[in-house]
Chain A
Amino acid sequence: MPNDATSPYATYLSHLEKGELAYQFSPAANRAVFFPRVLCPYSGSDKLEWRVSKGRGTVYSTTIVHPAEGAPFNIALIDVEEGFRLMSRVEDVAPDAVKIGMPVKFRVHKPGGENDPIPVFTPEAA
């Protein structure tokens, strides 16, 4: 059997480069899968379809990291409408204004240099 031509992470990343939040869908389990992988953890099936999220979600949990140096910053777990959860942060508001249940929308953050793009979120109303 030939090697896979691309990795799950590389496919995910290529979507982020285009400003898209991609996830996988498992027809066998009839549910979303995240993080991207080669096997569905709910069914064992290797048939996983790539889909692009509409980018709407809610804050499932939140914390504020207080580093030894520099300003405090937010870390959040986001429940995305298509039925998967990921770690991210909510931007454009103070870290202590990020609340559980808050509706948020996706945008891509491109740190540049050697760093890969990452999915971040902003308050839906903003």
Chain B
Amino acid sequence: MDGLKRGAAAIVGVAESDLGQVADGMSPMDLVAQGTQRALADCGLTLKDVDGLFCAMTQARMSIVQMIEYLGIQPKFIGSSMTGGSSFEFHVAQAAAAIQAGLCNVAVIAYGSTQRSVGRRQSSAREINPYETPFNPFMPTSAYALAASRHMHEFGTTREQLAEVAVAARKWAQINPAAWEKEDLTVADVLKSRMISYPFTVRDCCLVTDGGGAIVMTSAERAKSLKKPPAYVLGYGHGVTHASISCMPDLTVTGAKPAGEAAYKMAKLSAKDCDMVQLYDAFTINTVLFLEDLGFCRKGEGGAFVSGGNIAPGGKLPVNTNGGGLSYCHPGMYGLFILIEGVRQLRGECGERQVKKHDVAMVHGNGGVLSAQASVILGSGATL
């Protein structure tokens, strides 16, 4: 039982598909294929090199089967774990394990969604929970709103502090050419926007866009000969605490805590070694909770930590440098996009939004209603 080896696998290619509002009739699998082709081009590989495939989707129950049909290849190893938005962080660990075990050598992890084009209702099947559904919660928003209310009650976190998360995300989006929302946004704007599920207004909630993408992984050995500097998988961990929000043991402590602890242990690093954080900000409370649970500040101090531009461009800790699910894009499940941004930042190819020191990135995925958490620590060649 040696587990995953620090730095044995790397992400070598990344790409988004078309984003935002895609052309009429474009399918989720069209976006997967676009992302795959672009991510392979990014590292100088072709479909012929690919022998591992991973996919998860809200719009197809057997997305990996569709992906094999579409791409016309017969991979040696496939995976399609579905943990919601964090699926892709779980896939990174599975791909790293498969590569380490020699089950495949070049793995593609891909996603696509036309959530904006087809509408929220059409993009994922409604699931009935007889203990929750009869109360008509607006899911997933109400679940996160319940967590936010409890955090406000226990720690004095304010709606203004939550709004600071949305404002910081918008400032990053304004310097990311690929971002969807770029209008100026203030704390006051967030507070006076349309209320969705208290304490959240629409500006505390992620966007509804189309989009997809892919990443390419291979062994550290093979990674060296490819086009761009590899982003090595230094650490990984996960924590699954519940499926339904009424079964979450403590609404103010998430599975990001065990996920982060395991990832730091494998990486032999701690929060203070991370140059940036790319985390799944489905709602403003996510950023507060995950920064606390991943050790960037103490429990209960997340509201103060995200305030005053501390996580915005020019702040002390760069968080969600692409603009996040709140302002860059959020096509149903967002977990792949934080991996893409983490890799680009480590390579130093982010232009105006480039983080100055870029050797270690904490990438943290969230799935369900704070349910399935997975942390991936990526590092540049200097960290090996």
Contact = CB atoms under 8 A, between A and B. Distances in A.
Contacts of A64: 195, 197-198
A77 B136 contact: no
Given A35-B131, A67-B138, A89-B135, A77 B196 contact: no
A62 B131 contact: no
B132 interface: yes
B305 to A, nearest CB: 22
A89 B194 CA distance: 22
B121 interface: no
A100 B136 CA distance: 20
A65 B142 contact: yes
Contacts of B136: 65, 73, 75
Nearest to A67: B138
A53 interface: no
B197 A65 contact: yes
Nearest to B133: A87
Nearest to B252: A61
Interface string B210-250: 00000000000000000000000000000000001111000
> Which of B142, B145, B246, B251 is packed against the most chain A CB atoms within 10 Å?
B246
A61 B135 contact: no
A122 interface: no
A66 interface: yes
A105 interface: no
Contact of B135 (A35, A100, A118): A118
B149 A62 contact: yes
B146 A75 contact: yes
A32 to B, nearest CB: 13
Given A63-B145, A63-B198, A86 B131 contact: yes
Interface string A100-112: 1100000000010
Contacts of B138: 65, 67
Contact of B132 (A63, A87, A96): A87
Contacts of B25: none
Contact of B150 (A65, A89, A100): A100
B149 A63 contact: yes
Contacts of A101: 153
A61 B131 contact: no
Interface in B139-194: 142, 145-147, 149-150, 153, 194
A64 to B, nearest CB: 4
A94 to B, nearest CB: 12
Interface string B104-131: 0000000000000000000000000011
A46 interface: no
A124 interface: no
A118 B230 CA distance: 54
A61 B137 contact: no
B134 interface: yes
Contact of A61 (B130, B132, B134, B149): B149
Contact of A100 (B132, B149, B198): B149
Contacts of A115: 134
Nearest to A89: B135
Contacts of A51: none
Contacts of B142: 63, 65, 75
Nearest to B146: A61
Contact of B247 (A35, A72, A89): A35
A59 to B, nearest CB: 10
Interface of B: 130-132, 134-138, 142, 145-147, 149-150, 153, 194-199, 244-247, 251
21 contacts: A35-B246, A35-B247, A61-B146, A61-B150, A63-B199, A64-B195, A64-B197, A64-B198, A65-B142, A66-B197, A75-B135, A75-B136, A75-B197, A85-B247, A86-B131, A86-B246, A87-B132, A87-B137, A96-B198, A116-B130, A118-B134
Given A87-B131, A88-B135, 13 more contacts: A35-B244, A35-B247, A63-B197, A64-B198, A65-B196, A66-B195, A66-B196, A75-B137, A75-B146, A87-B137, A96-B198, A100-B149, A101-B153
